[in-house]
Amino acid sequence: MNINIKRGGDDYFFNRLFSYLSSELEVEIKEMTQLRGNVYLVETVKTRFILKGYSDLRKLKIQQAFTSSLRKSGFDHSYRFYNQNKDPLQFHGSYYGLIEYIDHHEKRFDYGVHSDREKGVELLNGFHDHTSVLVPSYAGMLPKTDLPRKWTHRKNEFAKNLPRINYYVNKAITEELLEWADFSLANFVKLKGELENNAPTILHGDVAHHNFLRSKEGKLYLIDFDLISSGSPAFDMLQYANRILPFLDWQFESLKKINHLNKWLDSDAFLAGLLYPADILREWNRLLRNRTQTHPYSLAPIIEMTVGQFQQRKQFQEEVKSRLDY
């Protein structure tokens, strides 16, 4: 058999993984390509599928069960796991699932496109509608969303990174970013109960643009449920708003025009959450964690996000604070 592997790692590991799959699956594998980490695109003589590894069997089983429940609930805008009807694939300490491959459209989903922003939030809202009925079934399996804990950890990591960040960004800017984070956290913690009074749903937890996939036929899919949790749908919507605001030039009025998001803008808790500079803190922490901060290609986008957009973000902060009703 000719092994055709496209990857960016250890040849020995990939060759052994290829051989293991060939012995376990009842199809002939033609090609295997590493997409990222422990995720591979596998092409057989008949079809393609995604092979994804999980660190423990419980995580794989939850993903398999959730995507099946999601489909049974009537939400057909995501992938399914293939049922192997045998023991799970286990190789080098990871458990592997076989996921339906969705051939993507040449026009990728883009938060910079108005219609995509509208379709994305519409899909996310539909996802919440369907997963709200699944909450009782997954009560013992999924964690409850704890945004204050997550944001506090992110802020503390950013604060520890300040000596390196201030090599590239004026100290006055980073000090103000931390002030925004502190103000947002303090008020969000105080007010979040008003959001938690909403009926809980299962949250996606990572509404980055790459988790919205447009199929070759033009249908929009929501993918990658590794970070699912339970909580108010407002928490996913907060993250969605933070993702799209740079493309709205940080204009609050533009946010008010977006269906499914605008209904949350009367909530002081939601407004307080909007003030948290989640994207800047996340990207600096990720950059420094990966030790790539000196590479100009990696630095340029985060410096633009931090410095280039600073005045727009500051005006947004002032606009939102003026709307807080307390």
97 half-sphere exposure, CB direction, 13 A CA radius = 23
- Residue 140: what are its φ and ψ, rounded to 5°? -90, -5
C-alpha 272/C-alpha 268 separation (Å) is 6
Q: How many C-beta atoms lie closer than 10 Å to residue 286's C-beta?
A: 13
Residue 78, in any domain of the structure: yes
Last residue of a domain, one of 78, 100, 122: 100
- Given a contact cutoff of 8 angstroms between Cβ atoms, the answer to whether 146 and 195 are in contact is no
From 129, 146, 137, 125, select the one nearest 66 (Cα to Cα).
137
CATH of the domain at 72: 3.30.200.20
Whether 162 maps to a domain, the answer reads yes
Q: What is the mean pLDDT of residues 301-307?
A: 94
pLDDT at 9: 52
Residue 270 lies in a domain: yes
pLDDT value at 47 more than 60: yes
Task: Calculate mean pLDDT across residues 103-127.
Answer: 97
pLDDT score recorded for residue 84: 67
Name the residue with higher pLDDT: 122 or 45: 122
The pLDDT-based confidence of 198 (bands split at 50, 70, 90) is: confident
Residue 22 in domain: yes
Q: Tell me 199's DSSP state.
A: P
Higher pLDDT, 23 or 293: 23
pLDDT in the model for residue 2: 45
Task: Supply the pTM of this predicted model.
Answer: 0.92
Q: Report the C-alpha gap between 224 and 205 in whole angstroms.
A: 10
For the segment 161-184, the average pLDDT, to the nearest whole number, is 96
Question: Is the same domain home to 163 and 265?
Answer: yes
pLDDT recorded at residue 86: 75
Q: Residue 259 has what pLDDT?
A: 94
The answer to the question of residue 272 being in a domain is yes
Q: Per-residue pLDDT for 1 more than 50?
A: no
pLDDT in tens, 132-151: 999 999 998 999 999 999 99
- Arithmetic mean of pLDDT, 254-266: 95
Same domain assignment for residues 25 and 47: yes
Number of domains in the chain: 2
> Of 100, 134, 166, which residue sits at a domain end?
100
Q: Could you tell me if 152 and 24 lie in one domain? A: no
Residue 56 and residue 27 share a domain = yes
Q: Are 71 and 128 within one domain?
A: no
DSSP conformation class of 258:
S
Q: Grade residue 3 by pLDDT with cuts at 50, 70 and 90.
A: very low
170 and 213 inside one domain: yes
Q: Which amino acid is at 177?
A: L
Whether residue 248 is predicted with pLDDT greater than 60 in this model: the reply is: yes
The answer to whether residue 105 sits within a structural domain is no
**CATH number, position 188:** 3.90.1200.10
Taking CA atoms, 25 is separated from 58, 121, 146, 258, in Å, by: 22, 38, 40, 46
Is the per-residue pLDDT at 238 higher than 80? Answer: yes
Q: Would the pLDDT of 292 be above 60? A: no
- Its domain, for residue 80, covers 4-100
Whether the per-residue pLDDT at 295 is higher than 80: the answer is no
H helices then E strands: how many in the chain?
13, 10
Residues 291 and 213 in one domain: yes
Exposure of 167 in the CB half-sphere (CA atoms within 13 A): 9
Over residues 53-97, the pLDDT tens digits come to: 999 999 999 999 999 999 999 999 999 999 866 788 999 999 999
Give a yes or no: residue 107 inside a domain. no
Q: Are residues 154 and 256 in the same domain?
A: yes
Are 82 and 135 members of one domain? no
Give me the pLDDT at residue 62, please. 96
Alpha-carbon distances, residue 82 vs 58, 170, 215, 216 (angstroms)? 17, 51, 19, 21
If asked whether residues 35 and 127 sit together in one domain, one would say no
